[in-house]
Structures are given as structure tokens and as C-alpha cells.
């Protein structure tokens, strides 16, 4: 059980340099080596093709991290590379708007339900912050409700270092990890509705919400002149072609998108009703690189792929096969691991207690890397390039890893008895996918 035939020497050497030169080692907290299994997991990847990646030491892995979900079509996808190579000669960023802005806006409006207008940005946090500012302006109210991880900006990370304490007065953060969290959110909207500009909701990954609950949130927002925003930075182009609105049969006022929006290129967007987005012209919301042309070209190509292929049904079918296969193997071994949540966004859980989960997930991902698979400790992704053969090999590898953990005595009676679902202890465990 050793895929790392070449070791990790080059990875570790680069890591040593990065610790001296890059603040925080890398650009995303979720890519830090401490998020995986330090010393037994690759740190630096050199290249990728399809559903496989190769690290700087020339070890190859089947990839379920998929650029934190951004590589929805896989690495080096033909339509993506063609969109770049065929348009690179036009330049990267013009001094005035480019026609691709209009072309890609139309493509996005065509695929997102109820969308009449869009605005492009670069990151999910940018799009969410623009949507919040717009909601505050349109409602003339200041406070917001956030659900899930909505980005690193002050509105959402109000209780982290470097953020003025007064920011906390303007944001209510609410969990949705379990069914009993739903009514408190509805009660808060009812109780504080006259103060709320927006409800910004990112779906939890550990369980499926119901269409009825989404409609209740929408109705409550309508009753109090609150802008209902679905944060689809992660879930967009995964649950359904049209996203959460299509999947849950609900109409949001605004939707924010990134990750799969441009299949790995840096792009985000706010989409929604023209009556709302027209008002953005009155605000100081501006970004130089929102009109960067290659990302917009790739976005149009990615949307065309989502529209014209079986991409959605493909990742759902593979995710279901992965979930069922792993859960059956874990039950057979009496191991606590369960794959939960949405088929296309499989979440691996060992325990409802965060500390217990991490204690078990860390060696697990190390054992999986040793067999040629890279996964996150919790939320993972399927892409267009994954195949049934990949899934079958993954189930076998998971079975082997769990068996070794059992043999090594890593599963105590306490951890094996835990139902792997979030509970109240996890309410501050917000996953950035």
C-alpha cells in the first residue's frame, strides 16, 4: 500500500522555502498541509489531467479535491483549454469592455433560473460582499443573517482576529447542520425581520435540506422585505444545471457563484432580478479584473458543457456509487466512517465531535494518499472526468485504509458508537470548501 514510490522530498523542500517566504504558506487556508496529513500527504502538485494529478515528486493520484471544487470538469478539460488557446491572442484585459462580457452574461442568464442580469467578480467572497452591499442599499437596512461559510470578509468572519468588534453587531450567524436548526433560523427572520437586509444561505454539506424549508425561508424573507441570497459558490453547477433554485424548486432574489462557474479559472458572479441588479450602478462596486477575458471565455465554454452533456447526472451517479460503496464497507468493518450529504458533494465523517473526527480523518487521508488518492478530511468533489473505475478503486482503497486503522487500534468503542452527523458541538465548524 505505497503509491509514493518517489517519496515527498521535493514537496517538503518547497514547503520549507514557502514557510520563509509566503504568508500562511499558501493562498488558501484549505490548501495548507496541516489540513491533510503532514508528512504523509503531498504538498505541491505539478500537473493534472482528467481526474488525476501528479505531485512534484512524480507520484500520481486520483483527485477528489478538484481545486476545492473549482475543477468541475476535471484537469486539462478540452473545452477549457480550447477556450484559452483560441482566445489568448486577443489579450487578457482590454482598456474598455470586451464582447465576451455580453456573451458570457447571456450564457449565465440562460442557465440560472429567474436570472435577468449578472455582474462578474473574481472570488466568491467578492460576489457575496457585493450582494450584501446591494441588499443593504435596496432595503435601507443594515443587519444580515449568514448560514455556512460565505467568505473571509469582515461581515462573515466577525469573530476572528483583525476584525473590529463592532462588526459583530451587524451579522447573525446561524447553523443548519441538523433539522432542529431550521426553526431557530425561521424564528430569527421573523423576530429581527425589520432590521435584516439579507439572508445569505450556503447549504450545509452534511445533510440534505428540503424544498419546503427553502420555501419557508423565502416566504419569511418576502414578508419582511429581506433579500434572499443563495450562496452557490460551492454548490453551483453541482446539484442541478440551474443550481439550488432548480434543485429545491425555490426562487432566490440573488444567487452568488464561483468555483465551477469557470471550471477552475478565477471568476465569480452575482445573478438575479434586473430590478435589484440595476441598483448596483448606484453603488461603489468595481473590480478591474472582473472583465478579464480568458476567464469569461472559459465560463461560456463551461456553461455550454453543462448544458449539452450529461455532466450533472454523471457526477450524481458516481457520487451515489461512492457513497453507497464506502458506507457498506464501513458498516461491514464496524468502522465509524460515513459518507453523507449530496451525492455530487460527498462529505466524509468519522464522528459528530470535531476533535474526534479530525483525529481519525487525518491518518485516513494519509493512508488514502499512500494508495494514490487525495481527499480532504471532510467535503470532497466529483468531476466530469471521474469514471466508474475510479470509484471502484476508491471504494477498495477506503476499505483497505479502514481495515488498517482497525488493525492499528485507531477506532475506539467511543468513536465507533458515534453517529457521524453534526450536532450542537459543531455549530461553529463552518467548512470552507
- For the chain, the structural domain boundaries read 9-65+310-426, 78-308
Helices and strands: H and E segment counts in the chain: 13, 13
Distance CA(418)–CA(424), nearest Å, equals 14
Task: pLDDT tens for the chain, 433 residues: list them.
Answer: 467 788 999 999 999 999 999 999 999 988 899 999 999 999 999 999 999 999 999 999 999 999 999 999 999 999 999 999 999 999 999 999 999 999 999 999 999 999 999 999 999 999 999 999 999 999 999 999 999 999 999 989 999 999 999 999 999 999 999 999 999 999 999 999 999 999 999 999 999 999 999 999 999 999 999 999 999 999 999 999 999 999 999 999 999 999 999 999 999 999 999 999 999 999 999 999 999 999 999 999 999 999 999 999 999 999 999 999 999 999 999 999 999 999 999 999 999 899 999 999 999 999 999 999 999 999 999 999 999 999 999 999 999 999 999 999 998 755 554 444 433 334 344 456 6
Report how far residue 327's alpha carbon sits from residue 199's, in angstroms, rounded to the nearest whole number: 34
Residue 8 three-state SS: coil
Give the list of residues 6+ apart from residue 322 with CB closer than 8 angstroms, or none.
339, 346, 382, 391, 394, 395
Regarding pTM above 0.75, the answer is yes
Q: Among the CATH numbers 3.30.1490.20, 3.60.20.10, 3.30.2320.50, 3.40.640.10, which is that of 78-308?
A: 3.40.640.10
3-state secondary structure of 352: coil
Contact predicate 44/55, CB 8 Å = yes
Question: 156: number of CA atoms within 13 Å, CB side?
Answer: 25
Measured from the Cβ of residue 347, the count of other Cβ atoms closer than 10 Å reads 23
- Assess if CATH 3.40.50.970 describes domain 9-65+310-426: no
Q: Specify the pLDDT at position 429.
A: 45
Residues paired with residue 269 on neighbouring β-strands, in sequence order: 120, 257
| Helix%, strand%, coil% for the chain, nearest 5 | 45, 15, 40
Pick from 203, 242, 150, 433: nearest CA to 341: 203
- Alpha-carbon distance of 104 to 301, in angstroms, equals 9
Separation CA 130–CA 125 (nearest Å): 9
Amino acid at each position: 500500500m505505497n503509491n509514493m514510490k518517489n517519496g515527498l522530498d521535493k514537496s517538503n523542500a518547497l514547503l520549507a522555502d514557502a514557510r520563509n517566504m509566503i504568508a500562511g504558506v499558501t493562498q488558501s487556508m484549505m490548501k495548507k498541509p496541516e489540513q491533510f496529513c503532514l508528512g504523509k500527504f503531498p504538498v505541491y502538485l505539478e500537473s493534472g489531467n482528467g481526474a488525476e494529478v501528479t505531485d512534484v515528486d512524480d507520484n500520481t493520484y486520483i483527485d477528489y479535491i478538484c481545486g476545492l471544487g473549482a475543477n468541475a470538469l476535471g484537469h486539462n478539460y478540452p473545452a477549457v483549454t480550447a477556450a484559452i488557446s483560441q482566445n489568448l491572442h486577443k489579450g487578457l484585459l482590454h482598456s474598455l469592455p470586451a464582447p465576451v462580457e455580453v456573451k458570457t452574461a447571456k450564457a449565465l442568464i440562460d442557465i440560472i433560473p429567474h436570472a435577468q442580469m449578472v455582474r462578474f467578480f473574481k472570488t466568491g467572497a467578492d460576489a457575496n460582499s457585493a450582494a450584501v452591499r446591494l441588499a443593504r442599499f435596496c432595503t435601507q437596512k443594515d443587519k444580515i443573517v449568514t448560514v455556512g461559510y460565505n467568505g473571509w470578509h469582515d461581515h462573515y468572519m466577525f469573530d476572528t482576529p483583525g476584525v473590529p468588534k463592532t462588526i459583530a453587531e451587524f451579522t447573525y450567524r446561524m447553523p443548519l447542520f441538523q433539522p432542529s436548526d431550521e426553526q431557530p433560523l425561521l424564528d430569527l427572520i421573523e423576530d429581527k425581520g425589520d432590521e435584516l437586509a439579507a439572508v445569505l444561505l450556503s447549504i450545509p454539506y452534511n445533510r440534505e435540506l428540503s424544498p419546503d424549508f427553502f420555501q419557508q425561508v423565502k416566504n419569511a424573507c418576502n414578508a419582511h422585505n429581506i433579500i434572499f441570497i443563495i450562496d452557490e459558490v460551492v454548490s453551483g453547477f453541482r446539484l442541478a444545471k440551474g443550481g439550488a433554485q432548480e434543485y429545491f424548486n425555490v426562487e432566490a432574489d440573488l444567487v452568488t457563484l464561483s468555483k465551477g462557474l469557470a471550471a477552475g479559472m478565477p471568476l465569480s458572479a452575482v445573478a438575479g432580478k434586473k430590478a435589484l441588479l440595476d441598483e448596483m450602478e448606484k453603488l461603489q462596486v468595481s473590480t478591474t479584473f472582473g472583465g478579464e477575458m480568458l476567464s469569461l471565455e472559459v465560463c461560456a465554454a463551461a456553461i455550454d458543457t453543462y448544458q449539452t452533456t450529461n455532466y450533472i447526472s454523471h457526477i450524481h451517479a458516481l457520487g451515489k456509487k461512492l457513497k453507497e460503496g464506502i458506507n457498506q464497507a464501513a458498516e461491514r468493518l464496524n468502522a465509524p466512517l460515513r459518507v453523507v450529504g449530496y451525492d455530487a458533494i460527498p462529505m466524509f465523517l468519522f464522528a459528530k465531535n470535531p476533535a474526534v473526527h479530525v483525529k481519525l480523518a487525518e491518518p485516513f487521508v494519509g493512508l488514502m494518499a499512500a494508495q494514490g488518492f487525495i481527499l480532504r478530511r471532510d467535503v470532497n468533489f466529483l468531476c466530469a472526468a471521474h469514471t466508474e473505475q475510479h470509484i471502484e478503486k476508491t471504494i477498495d482503497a477506503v476499505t483497505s485504509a479502514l481495515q488498517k486503522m482497525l488493525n492499528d487500534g485507531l477506532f475506539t468503542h467511543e468513536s465507533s458508537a458515534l453517529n457521524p452527523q453534526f450536532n450542537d458541538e459543531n455549530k461553529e465548524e463552518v467548512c470552507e470548501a
